[in-house]
Amino acid sequence: MSTQPTVLITGASGMLGRALHRLLLTSSSYNVVGTGHSRLTVTHYHEHFPPPNNDTAHSSPSAAAAAAADSLANTVELHKLDLLDHKATTEFIQHHHPDIIIHCAAQRYPDAFESNLEESIQLNVESTRHLAQICMSQPDYRPHLIYISTSYVFDGGVISKEFPPYVPTSVANPINNYGRSKWDGECVIRDVMNVAKSNSDCRGRGIIVRVPLLYGEDCIQLDESPALEMMKVLLPATAGTTIKNKKIDNWALRFPTSCEDVAKALKLMIDRALIDEHFDGTYHVSSPHGITKYGLLQLQSQLLNVPKSELDERAVGNDDNPSAANPLAAPRPQCTQLNCEDTWSALGCQVEFTTLQDGMRRSSRGFPGRFIGQ
């Protein structure tokens, strides 16, 4: 039996789950168990997302990191787990006996959440409740549970009159169902873990990590991240159709953050939780670089050498609240910037976030030759 601590990642096929799975596998310090539901084969490195030692976009990787990346198989098989099957989930956790569970699995698209409300709530709230209950009910040990939440638990001050940047204790007031589900998940973590706390049981407390808009550096599908999907307007016309004057949100200020950077912060939390049974609480992890979606598209087009005249013909910035023009879409707050000072103070160090220019350059490598001007 392995003496290494076991780290279980739900949703290891998603953007953040892949980044964390990849990072932990490059270390010999953990026994990593990744789970997925429909997508069970994960490609950690590919032609356009090479290991750090072969990646000229990353500067001077350490010899240890390069060797570890070399030893990591490009393709990894995940364990199939339906988190809505509570019996199967309980049996899976009892079998693998994890020391840490990182709950990345979620319905994270606000508009898709609206179109499949019941199942989305089951995944975002009830599966979280069940995981927390499992952690608290183990007779011989208590795993920590790290729950990934969102900056969308805040309303930007429009109703609460509490404005960003938000600290972990700021008043939450989500304005769409996705944000409400993640807030409900947070409440579940606190309520279930508080039972253990009141019984003087210090193990297994919940850790909540709020993140903003994320993007993956290894994506090969534009739809996978809202930070990349606008790039569809830069694709060549097909079947005689041409995109003209598509409105791109220039109203809401986002803070796009690389999943690779969030994974580094999560690893620091995992290491802290493994040595400190009192480590719990709510933490924020976010890049400080703010930009609108239209501003991001302008940056992406510059990096792809798309002529400005082409971009201006295909897209236009929309300075109005997009929810007003599309009442069927989930409403979004204008700004939910997260203050991360408490996180770095608790961890004793700080993650150096990728700049937007470097992050967009890396993330666009997964789509070679696909855009106009290339």
- The three-state DSSP-derived secondary structure of 9-20 is EECCCCHHHHHH
Pairing of strands 75-77, 41-43: antiparallel
Distance of CA 148 to the CA centre of its chain: 7
CB 68 within 8 A of CB 86: no
Query: Residue 262 corresponds to which tokens in the numbers above?
Result: 């969030």
Contact by Cβ (8 Å): 15, 214: yes
Nearest 5°: the CA angle 320, 245, 158 is 15
Name the residue type at position 71.
S
Distance in angstroms (rounded) separating the CA atoms of residues 219 and 320: 30
Q: Walk along the chain (374 residues) and give the pLDDT tens digit of each residue.
A: 568 999 999 999 999 999 999 999 988 899 999 999 988 888 887 777 877 665 544 544 455 555 445 545 578 899 999 999 999 999 999 999 999 999 999 887 777 777 788 888 888 999 999 999 999 888 777 899 999 999 999 999 989 999 999 999 999 999 999 999 999 999 999 998 766 555 555 544 899 999 999 999 998 889 888 899 999 999 987 755 667 889 999 999 999 999 999 999 999 999 999 999 889 999 999 999 999 999 999 999 999 999 999 999 999 999 998 877 777 778 889 999 999 999 999 999 999 999 999 999 999 988 888 888 77
Handedness of CA 322, 294, 247, 241 (dihedral sign): negative
DSSP 131-148: HHHHHHH-SS---EEEEE
Model pTM score: 0.91
